[in-house]
Amino acid sequence: MFLCMIGRAVTRRKRKFLMTAGTVALGISLATAMLNVMLDVGDKVNQALRTYGANITVEPRGAALLGDLYGIGEGEGVADKFLLEAELPRIKTIFWAFNIVDFTPYLDVQAEAEGIGKVTLLGTWFARRLDIPTGESVDAGIINLKSWWDVQGPWLKDDDADGVMVGGLTADRYNIRIGDRIRVEVEDRTGEKRGTELTVRSLFHSGDKEDGVLLAPLAVVQRLSGLEGRVRRIEVSALTTPENDLARRAAQNPNSLSRHEWEIWYCTAYASAIAFQIEEVLTESRAKPVLQVAASEGAVLQKTSLLMLLLTVLSLACSALAVAGLVTAGVMERSTEIGLLKALGAGDWEIVLLILTETLASALVGGAVGYVAGLGLAQVIGQSVFGAAVSAKGLVIPLVALLVLAVAAGGSLPACRMLLRLRPAEVLHGR
């Protein structure tokens, strides 16, 4: 009989049922979209931020230590320590390999350039295809890592043995144009000078210290300096999880963590954990997260997530309020019917159960429709804000189910209070 009443109430009062379902659908669609975007926004924001450069730098252990202790940087006579270029593919074999978006090595040497004088000659990969130990191939290099650089002319190719890119500052100061030829000489480790003539293929503006250098393929710089197979520094761009207290403690000293904390830290994509794992695969290396970048990412993510959460809560609150209005109006409209049920002997809880079940039935229908609509809305938000699809997170389904229950129960509360106070004599006889 109970189900019969619910079924009849639903089928014979379709308009009210659909209005409640529609209200819940609106709220749940927004909540679904926001929750999906919120759970995916970390990756999306990370990917967006990754286009603005590296967030981990790797240096030889000794050089990094001197740099840390005395502020002595590269090119100041301390840099007899190098990393091995042959080990670089190992970066893509760490636990968080899939989070490594890009990386590139650097080798900087002091050169004597004709018409310029002393200048830094910086060697790097441009778009190197690497065969990694897992059997896969990946592309790595500065072209993707520094995608915001303003380059006039083409990027160099890694096998271009006599090409060079000139930083904007140097080009302006010495009036260097594309197509000019520059003779450079580098003193190798034995003191012997090696020289070659390079053609300016392009000019670039990085907005950073690279604007003063000559940029050449890594192999060219290695050959001129006699440092074949060596690199001075590696920049890594990785998708990371915002740093927290655990990550900060681990970054200072991983040995200070308990075993359980260590496992959590190691298996979470904190910049410090990824840096630690890079150190594990590169001989005598010291990998450091770029803290400003990591902190900014954390702040951006935190604020974006908070905004999404607020929108979710607001949309659900609005939905619950609207449902409350509809259900309360429904109870007022049906006060005679409810009074009659009480007069016939229905207990308060039986009537509350009836109203709750009716509301829940419409909320479930609305919730299902809202979930599907929310997935669509999430894609619209993903494409318009991040230019990428937002993946449907499984976690959202139980969350949405709970939210539907909460909206239905919360929305029914005022109505339930009202019907508990309702006295049959008043509604049936006006006394």
Q: Please give the backbone phi and psi of residue 389, each rounded to the nearest 5 degrees, phi first.
A: -70, 150
Assigned token pair, 273: 């954990």
Between residues 8 and 303, which has the closer beta carbon with respect to other proteins?
8
Q: Which residues bind other proteins (CB under 8 A)?
A: 1-2, 4-5, 8-9, 11-13, 336-337, 339-348, 350, 423-425, 428-429, 431
**What amino acid occupies position 46?**
N
Q: Within a 10 A sphere around the Cβ of 56, how many other Cβ atoms?
A: 24
Q: Residue 354 CB, nearest distance to other proteins (Å)?
A: 11
Between residues 414 and 424, which has the closer beta carbon with respect to other proteins?
424
Q: Residue 361 CB, nearest distance to other proteins (Å)?
A: 14
Between residues 339 and 382, which has the closer beta carbon with respect to other proteins?
339
159: closest CA among 211, 218, 105?
Answer: 218
**Measured distance CA(349)–CA(283) in Å, rounded:** 71
Between residues 173 and 423, which has the closer beta carbon with respect to other proteins?
423
SS3 state at 236: strand
Q: Residue 420 CB, nearest distance to other proteins (Å)?
A: 10
Assigned token pair, 47: 């990917």
Q: Residue 415 CB, nearest distance to other proteins (Å)?
A: 18
Between residues 12 and 118, which has the closer beta carbon with respect to other proteins?
12
CA distances from 214 to 265, 278, 321, 422 (A): 40, 28, 64, 85
89: closest CA among 278, 242, 361?
Answer: 278
Between residues 9 and 121, which has the closer beta carbon with respect to other proteins?
9
**Measured distance CA(79)–CA(83) in Å, rounded:** 11
407 near 23, Cβ under 8 Å? Answer: no
Q: Residue 26 CB, nearest distance to other proteins (Å)?
A: 26
Q: Residue 418 CB, nearest distance to other proteins (Å)?
A: 16
